[in-house]
Amino acid sequence: MAKALRVYPQTTPLRGTITVPGDKSVSHRAVMLGSLATGTSIVRRWLPAGDPVATLEIFRQLGVSIQVTIDSPTSWDLEIEGVGLHGLQPADRPLDAKNAGTCIRLLAGIMAGQRFPSVLDGSRQLRQRPMTRITKPLQQMGAVIDSQDGKAPLTITPSPLTGMTYEMPVASAQVKSCILLAGLYADGETAVIQPGEARDHTERMLQAMGADVQQVGSRISIRPVQQLNPLDMTVPADISSAAFPLVAAAIVPHSDITIENCGLNETRTGILDMLKTMGAEFSVKRPASTGGEPTADLSIRFSEMHSADIGGPVVVRGIDEFPILTVAMSQAAGVGSVSDAAELRVKEVDRIGVLAGELSKMGVVMDQRPDGFSLEGPIHLRGNTVDSHDDHRLGMSLAIAGLVADSPTIITEANCMADSFPGFVEAMQALGARMEWLE
């Protein structure tokens, strides 16, 4: 049942220290690679959100025993009995990635290497997203994959894979990871050349597990190994989730908040750089690392922001944060723009067109281009009823916009927020935000 969320204009500063749930990208990969390891992996603070749970259920279907040893609504500890690189069992029905693009695209790389057939499918939303970006390179490696006009469902027939060097046309961590995972099963070396620095969690995790992964400049290569060692790791807090309270504190006057143990992998910190360019003030304390990923406590306080022109290499480092960045831009002074971000059009929804449509209901005028948009702030936001379009990040961005609107905002289809950030509303409430679920 779709639920709606009501957000009230925020009349007091946001204050306090919170943790946000574990990183979604790392959580997907921990289940996939833990399943392929030889031995038992321990993964703490794993993210029990809609997207990674789809991955977990698929690996159970493929014969992997995964126990949840500590279970809270926002964090699970997992014990994964890895079956080894060649120990997955055929499933008796299609593998359902639900709404998760990362799940289906990385899984395709693994399933292309198996000696049994499989069908990979997902929700209506996922069935509309482009898959040729992975099926084409996998087919070049020798995979046999049938699709519906380049979209899911994907039917994979067993076939031997041969290593190759693939020059990626778009900077995408999902494509890079898919090919590297297929490379675990290919004959010889498999390499990708990336046009931009997409998130590198797959490479880091594979290296930590003893895989033969090398990076020289923009070229990343992998050679098959006999086995992967199990993981023993804590998942860092997801900077993509942290981005919502961070922007909220940047735009609600006199706010000052801290996010504990936030993942600060440089391939993910684009949002911090973009907000800094706009005048936001951060401080970083208690640097540490977990599972090969850097973390720290990250604080931000309200500041008067000015707009900026955002484009180039920072875009891929903050690709998921453009909906919430747009909300920040709407409150910053002057004309700001985003370019080099055509990928936003093929995310969960068209994150330029759909965002422009929903934010226009609150008074935001976005001048769209194929690869971005421009807008002039600061904009006096009007409370209204807006819809998430079943896109978690769009829903949470609209909720944060509601905090600085002049009257209450209702976000319909808001429960999709739990696809990446279970406990979003509770986390915001802990900082003093006024939000409530409507039945």
Residues at the interface with ligand S3P (CB under 6 A): 25, 102, 172-174, 177, 199, 319-320, 343
CB of 172 to ligand S3P, least distance (A): 3
Pick from 195, 397, 180: which is nearest to 315 by CA? 195
| Sole residue written with tokens 């480092």 | 317
| Closer Cβ to ligand S3P, 105 or 301, answer by number | 105
Distance (Å, whole) CA 367 – CA 137: 35
CB of 275 to ligand S3P, least distance (A): 18
The SS3 of residue 187 is strand
CB of 28 to ligand S3P, least distance (A): 6
| Closer Cβ to ligand S3P, 184 or 433, answer by number | 184
CB of 267 to ligand S3P, least distance (A): 10
How would you list the strands of the sheet with 232-234, edge to edge? 65-72, 75-83, 38-46, 232-234
CB of 318 to ligand S3P, least distance (A): 10
Distance (Å, whole) CA 251 – CA 255: 8
Which string of DSSP letters, residue by residue, matches 38-97? EEEEEEEEE--SHHHHHHHHHHHHTT-EEEEEEEETTEEEEEEEEE-TT-----SS-EE-
| Closer Cβ to ligand S3P, 143 or 198, answer by number | 198
81-117 per-residue burial string, b: 16 or more CB within 10 A, e: under 16: bbbebeebeebeebbbbbbbbbbbbbbbbbbbbbeee
Helix axes 353-360, 322-330, angle to 10 degrees: 40
| Closer Cβ to ligand S3P, 187 or 343, answer by number | 343
| Closer Cβ to ligand S3P, 302 or 373, answer by number | 373
Which string of DSSP letters, residue by residue, matches 303-322? ---B--EE-TTHHHHTGGGH
Residue 274 near residue 325 (C-beta atoms within 8 A): yes
Residue 325 near residue 310 (C-beta atoms within 8 A): yes
Q: HSE (CB half, 13 Å, CA atoms) of 221? A: 13
CB of 284 to ligand S3P, least distance (A): 23
Q: Tokens in use for 357?
A: 């449509």
Q: Which residues are catalytic?
A: 320
CB of 323 to ligand S3P, least distance (A): 11
Q: In terms of DSSP bridges, do strands 15-18 and 38-46 run parallel, antiparallel, or are they unpaired?
A: unpaired
| Closer Cβ to ligand S3P, 88 or 173, answer by number | 173
| Closer Cβ to ligand S3P, 102 or 330, answer by number | 102
Q: In terms of DSSP bridges, do strands 186-187 and 161-162 run parallel, antiparallel, or are they unpaired?
A: parallel
